[in-house]
């Protein structure tokens, strides 16, 4: 956290100092002081979270100051410094570069404003067809609505977006709804305004869910990570009261006609610093082989695992599970075309991946701990299974 504070100090203050000393050097003192106002507000909100724990209100203030002010000014500062170097050879090139820097900074600020005001409400539905050699015939055409990372605490008591999600999912008439974790931000007390809505998903095979790292409700108190399941029980209880089937290192069977498939769910497994408490062997025991020599599956199995890192970590080398569904990455809540900062953190961060007839689908999620999305719009995915 100390390193993060130093990085924040640099991002917020370095551009302000540069712009004040160059662009505004002849401006009245009051204007030069006002330039630092967003930096002061942003740093105070960060310090509040540092000492009082995470808060959506403080987090939103920090995000607005960072994205709408600090980052655009940092972009302008970097481009302006490049212009000064170019000015050694050509005054015209320096002038054009400065103009480009200003335009890019303004565009970045407008993108941030859109993402904060509208982007996090811009719900999209994606339809994906998946083909398998070993899918039981009765499940050919089976439709799964895959949801992830709603983070209801971000919405406070405002239910409009969640109402839209439930309505749009039900309009798709899926056979099954699966939820791959992170229903809350930090505490089960965020859930009451939304439980009545989230119990209204309408699918013949119901809703099956797993926990994400946030659902253990231990953020802000790292000393308790050794007791990771403590915080989860209230979330699990609420989900079960909503009629959801929560899988904790276990599986359930779905039958159609004379055929059966298994849905397995693990607790969190993936990249540090989050706890590694999933048990895939226990989750698939009795329905599919778990073996270092990768024995053939007994039943067609779909695995729910919150962090997509788990797929490469254990699922690929140890099993023949044909389909894994994950979330967690949010695509960093920012995407331009095929590019997202998530690429720097996760090998599989959004969409469909396939290796040796094993598939992984990573949902980029519905929400986030902070109300911002640009390009990586909120989404749920309707997966239709087909037998080749």
DSSP one-letter string for 9-68:
HHHHHHHHHHHHHTTTTTS-HHHHHHTTHHHHHHHHHHHHHHHH---HHHHHHHHHHIII
Residue 272 neighbours by CB distance under 10 Å: 7
Strands (E), the chain: 124-132, 143-147, 176-179, 207-209, 245-246, 250-256, 259-265, 301-304, 323-326, 351-355, 358-362, 379-387
Helix, strand, or coil (residue 322): coil
For residue 95, name the pLDDT band (cuts at 50, 70, 90).
Answer: confident
Q: Which stretch of 51-60, 110-119, 362-371 has the lowest confidence by average pLDDT?
A: 51-60
Structure tokens at 303: 């695995």
- For residue 328, CA distances in Å to 41, 148, 245, 258, 304 come to 29, 8, 20, 35, 12
202-230 burial: b if 16+ Cβ within 10 Å, else e: ebebbbbbbbbbbbbbbbeeeeeeeebee
| pTM to 2 decimal places | 0.92
Region 168-197 average pLDDT:
96
Q: Write the pLDDT tens digit of every residue in 148-175.
A: 999 999 999 999 999 999 999 999 999 9
What confidence tens digit (pLDDT) does each residue in 232-264 have? 899 999 999 999 999 999 999 999 999 999 999
Lowest-confidence region among 116-130, 282-296, 326-340:
282-296
pLDDT band, residue 55 (cuts 50/70/90): confident
- The stretch 293-304 carries a mean pLDDT of 78
> Mean pLDDT, the chain, as a whole number?
92
Summarised one tens digit per residue, pLDDT across range 308-321 is 999 999 999 999 99
Q: Which residues contact 113 (CB under 8 A, 6 or more apart)?
A: 68
Whether pLDDT at 220 is above 70: no
Per-residue confidence (pLDDT) for residue 379, from 0 to 100: 98
Q: What is the pLDDT of residue 224?
A: 62
pLDDT of residue 218: 78
Q: What is the model's pLDDT at position 271?
A: 84
pLDDT tens figures, 35-44: 999 999 999 9
The lowest-confidence range among 21-25, 66-70, 201-205 is: 21-25
pLDDT at 90: 83
**Predicted pLDDT of residue 40:** 95
Q: Are 386 and 132 in contact (CB under 8 A)?
A: yes
Per-residue model confidence (pLDDT) at position 322 = 96
SS (H, E, C) 187-205: CHHHCHHHHHHHCCCCCCC
Residue 26 has pLDDT above 80, yes or no: yes
232's enclosing H/E stretch is helix 232-241
Which of 65, 75, 53 lies closest to 186 in space, CA to CA?
53
Beta bridge partners of 253: 262
How many residues belong to the chain?
A: 388
């Amino acid at each position: 956290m100390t390193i993060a504070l130093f990085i924040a100090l640099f991002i917020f203050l370095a551009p302000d100092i540069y712009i004040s000393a160059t662009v505004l050097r002849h401006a009245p003192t009051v204007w030069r002081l006002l330039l630092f106002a967003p930096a002061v507000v942003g740093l105070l909100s960060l310090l509040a979270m540092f000492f009082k724990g995470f808060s959506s209100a403080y987090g939103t203030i920090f995000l607005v100051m960072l994205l709408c002010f600090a980052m655009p000014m940092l972009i302008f500062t970097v481009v302006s410094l490049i212009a000064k170097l170019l000015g050694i050879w050509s005054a015209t090139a320096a002038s054009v570069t400065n103009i480009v820097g200003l335009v890019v900074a303004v565009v970045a600020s407008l993108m941030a404003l859109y993402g904060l005001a509208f982007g996090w409400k811009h719900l999209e539905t994606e339809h994906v067809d998946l083909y398998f050699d070993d899918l039981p015939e009765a499940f050919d055409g089976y439709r799964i609505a895959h949801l992830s990372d709603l983070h209801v605490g971000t919405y406070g008591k405002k239910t409009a977006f969640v109402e839209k999600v439930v309505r749009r999912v039900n309009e798709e008439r899926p056979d099954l709804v699966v939820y791959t974790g992170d229903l809350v931000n930090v505490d089960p007390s965020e859930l009451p305004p939304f439980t009545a809505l989230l119990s209204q998903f309408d699918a013949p095979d119901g809703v099956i869910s797993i926990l994400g790292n946030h659902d253990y409700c231990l953020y802000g108190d790292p000393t308790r990570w050794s007791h990771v399941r403590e915080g989860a029980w209230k979330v699990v209880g609420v989900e079960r009261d909503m009629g959801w089937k929560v899988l904790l290192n276990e599986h359930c069977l779905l039958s159609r006609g004379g055929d059966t498939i298994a849905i397995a769910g693990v607790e969190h497994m993936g990249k540090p610093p989050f706890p590694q408490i999933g048990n895939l062997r226990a989750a698939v025991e009795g329905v599919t082989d778990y073996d270092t020599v990768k024995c053939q599956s007994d039943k067609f199995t779909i695995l729910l695992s919150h962090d997509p890192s788990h797929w490469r970590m254990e699922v690929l080398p140890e099993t023949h599970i044909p389909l894994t569904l994950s979330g967690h990455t949010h695509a960093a809540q920012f995407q331009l075309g095929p590019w997202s900062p998530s690429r720097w953190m996760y090998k599989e961060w959004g969409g469909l991946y396939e290796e040796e007839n094993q598939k992984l689908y990573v949902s980029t999620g519905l929400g986030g701990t902070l109300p911002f999305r640009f390009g990586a719009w909120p989404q749920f995915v309707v997966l239709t299974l087909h037998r080749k």
